[in-house]
């Protein structure tokens, strides 16, 4: 098949179309192309792309906002935890201090009370001693005067004679007291009371 | 192309061989004027309507938390933004050109895909009108970006007299570079796209026309061959889907590269 033949076939099939028109298209092709392209471009520039850009930006902002929020929440939680720990530490310190103080105070109170109690006890004991001494002396004095009188009376009744003679009376009393004293000494042994009595008598 | 048609025409009268005329179907309206409207324009308008419907619905329904449909749309837009524009230009410069490159990408993708859609069977980009206008847009964009960046003379100097070359070489280099800027870049964009689509269409028509002829009209002994040609057509259909996406990607990628070369400080 020759080149001329093939050209003839092409021409017949193509209806007078030059293949170069594929690349250098007729005016109407450019015209309609321009129309569709302008429409597409306008819709994409004005509507589609701005909308998707806005959506993407919003999504990014939301994600970033969420991340920032999470981060701040975490920081807040960490701060709260630190504060809590510090407060706990402070409370522990304070509790220890209070305990220490209480213990010191308690022991001070105990010591104070003990001192006071022993003081009281000593005073009570002393008072009692003094009272006992006073009563004993009083008893001793009254006993001495009354015993002499009673003894004399008794003796004069027993003897049956009146002891008018004062010299004799005095002698009788002295002898009686001496007897009494020696009897007391005999029963109570060599007690200090007897000693002191005899000392006073002497 | 001639050899295809001549070889095909030798096989018999019932065989419809693909020709260049397939890309210039008879006019439907306004024949002979600049408003001439034929099947290819109809395909483009249908593709435009479908494309815009999909994206406008997606934009209308766009929500903070995307559904399945919105995810697919965002994947396409994200692919252009991240894998094409931002990867080449960097995030800061990319912002200015993302809308343009996205529009170019989706337009070419939609018009390429009409080539394999049953009933349309003709890629909207298989006649250069669309590619030519898009290439012109890219041409204006990289000139404008370059002049804005360097000033008119600065831009020419940066491109025609790249530093680090011995002075005499400029005699050869400067005209070549000027040719690059003025013709080669846009022309290569147009020719690559249109040639791919034209070739794909011819391969498809050849396979399916042959299948039809072999099964329906050819001698019984030949019918078995129809299975082979059908399998070939099936494979080429899938391949054309891939090419449609690939060519859209390449066009967008090169457009970005050209613009980026204009605004770069050093070449």
Q: Is B24's CB within 8 Å of A15's CB?
A: yes
Q: Summarize pLDDT for A56-99 with one digit per residue, the tens.
A: 999 999 999 999 999 999 999 999 999 999 999 999 999 999 99
Q: Which residue has the higher pLDDT, A46 or A176?
A: A46
- For every residue of B174-212, DSSP letters joined together read HHHHHHIIIIIHHHHHHHHHHHHHHHHHHHHHHHHHHHH
Please tell me the predicted confidence (pLDDT) of residue B15.
Answer: 76
Nearest alpha carbon to residue B128 among B237, B4, B251: B251
What local confidence, expressed as pLDDT, does residue B216 receive? 86
- pLDDT band, very low/low/confident/very high, at B266 (cuts 50, 70, 90): low
Residues 51..90 of A with a Cβ closer than 8 Å to B: which? 51-52, 55-56, 58-59, 62
Task: Tell me which of A13, A26, A27 to substitute to probe the interface with B (most B C-beta atoms closer than 10 Å).
Answer: A13
pLDDT beyond 70 at A200 = no
8 Å CB contact between B189 and B135: yes
Domain boundaries, chain A: 3-162
Buried-exposed string B43-65: b where 16+ CB fall within 10 A, e elsewhere = bbbbbbeebbebbeebbeebeee
What are the phi and psi torsion angles at B28 (to 5°)?
A: -95, -40
Q: Is residue B28's pLDDT more than 60?
A: yes
Residues composing chain A: 202
The domains of chain B are located at 2-263
**Count, residues in chain B:** 267
**Range from A134-138, A161-165, B5-9, B83-87 carrying the lowest mean pLDDT:** B5-9
User: Is A194 within 8 Å of A181 (Cβ atoms)?
Assistant: yes
Task: Please enumerate in sequence order all residues whose Cβ is within 8 A of that of B3, keeping only pairs 6 or more positions apart, or say none.
Answer: A6
Q: Is the pLDDT of residue A12 over 50?
A: no
Rg (CA), chain B: 22
A-chain residues near B35 (CB < 8 A): 28, 31
Q: Considering the entire predicted model, what is its pTM? A: 0.69
Per-residue pLDDT, A114: 93
Q: Give the mean pLDDT of A122-147.
A: 90
Tell me the C-alpha to C-alpha distance, in Å, between residue B90 and each of A53, A61, B224: 17, 21, 56
**Chain B residue numbers touching A3 (CB-CB < 8 A):** 2
pLDDT of residue B31: 81
| Contact call for A49 and B98, based on CB within 8 A | yes
Give me the residue from B34, B45, B190 closest to A28, CB to CB: B34
Identity of the residue in A17, A37, A59 whose CB atom sits nearest the CB atom of B130: A37
Provide the mean pLDDT of chain A.
Answer: 81
Q: pLDDT-derived band of residue B191, with 50, 70 and 90 as boundaries?
A: very high
What does the pLDDT look like over B206-261, one tens digit per residue?
A: 999 999 888 888 888 888 888 999 999 999 999 999 999 999 999 999 999 999 99
User: What pLDDT, in 10s, does the model give residues B65-75?
Assistant: 888 999 999 99
CB B240 within 8 A of CB B232: no
- Taking the CA of residue A75 and the nearest CA in chain B, the distance in Å comes to 28
DSSP state, residue A180:
H
Ranking A171-180, B119-128, B129-138, B250-259 by mean pLDDT, the lowest is A171-180
In 3D space, the residue among B187, B194, B203 whose CA is nearest the CA of residue B235 turns out to be B203
The pLDDT of residue B106: 96
Per the prediction, chain B carries an average pLDDT of 88
Q: Around Cβ A34, how many Cβ atoms within 10 Å?
A: 15
């Amino acid at each position: 098949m020759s080149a001329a033949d093939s050209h003839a076939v092409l021409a017949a099939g193509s209806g007078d179309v030059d293949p170069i028109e594929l690349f250098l298209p007729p005016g109407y092709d450019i015209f309609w192309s321009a129309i569709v392209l302008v429409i597409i471009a306008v819709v994409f520039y004005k509507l589609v792309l701005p909308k998707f850009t806005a959506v993407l930006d919003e999504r990014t902002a939301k994600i970033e906002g969420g991340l920032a929020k999470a981060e701040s929440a975490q920081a807040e939680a960490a701060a709260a935890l630190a504060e809590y720990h510090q407060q706990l530490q402070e409370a522990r310190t304070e509790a220890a201090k209070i305990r220490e103080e209480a213990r010191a105070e308690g022991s001070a109170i105990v010591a104070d009370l003990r001192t006071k109690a022993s003081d009281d006890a000593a005073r009570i004991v002393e008072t009692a001693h003094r009272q006992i001494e006073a009563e004993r002396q009083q008893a001793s004095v009254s006993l001495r005067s009354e015993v002499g009188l009673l003894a004399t009376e008794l003796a004069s009744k027993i003897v049956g004679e009146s002891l008018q003679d004062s010299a004799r009376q005095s002698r009788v009393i002295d002898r009686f007291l001496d007897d009494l004293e020696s009897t007391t000494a005999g029963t109570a042994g060599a007690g200090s009371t007897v000693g002191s009595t005899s000392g006073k008598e002497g | 192309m001639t050899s295809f048609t001549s070889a095909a025409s030798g096989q018999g009268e019932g065989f419809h061989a693909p020709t260049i005329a397939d890309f210039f179907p008879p006019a439907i309206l306004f024949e002979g004027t600049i408003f001439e409207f034929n099947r290819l324009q109809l395909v483009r308008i249908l593709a435009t309507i479908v494309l815009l419907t999909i994206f406008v619905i997606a934009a209308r329904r766009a929500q903070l938390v995307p559904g399945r449909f919105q995810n697919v749309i965002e994947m396409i837009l994200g692919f252009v933004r991240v894998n094409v524009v931002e990867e080449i230009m960097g995030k800061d410069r990319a912002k200015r050109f993302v809308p343009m490159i996205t529009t170019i990408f989706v337009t070419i993708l939609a018009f390429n895909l009409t080539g394999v859609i049953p009933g349309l069977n003709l890629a909207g980009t298989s006649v250069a009108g669309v590619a030519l206008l898009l290439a012109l847009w890219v041409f204006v964009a990289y000139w404008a970006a370059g002049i804005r960046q360097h000033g008119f003379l600065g831009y020419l100097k940066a491109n025609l007299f790249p530093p680090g070359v011995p002075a005499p070489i400029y005699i050869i280099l400067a005209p070549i570079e000027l040719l690059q800027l003025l013709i080669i870049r846009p022309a290569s964009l147009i020719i690559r796209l249109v040639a791919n689509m034209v070739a794909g269409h011819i391969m498809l028509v050849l396979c399916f026309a042959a299948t039809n002829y072999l099964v329906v009209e050819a001698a019984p002994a030949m019918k078995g061959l129809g299975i082979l040609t059908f399998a070939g057509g099936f494979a080429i259909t899938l391949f054309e889907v891939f090419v449609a996406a690939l060519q859209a990607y390449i066009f967008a990628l090169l457009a970005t590269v050209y613009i980026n070369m204009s605004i770069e400080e050093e070449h």
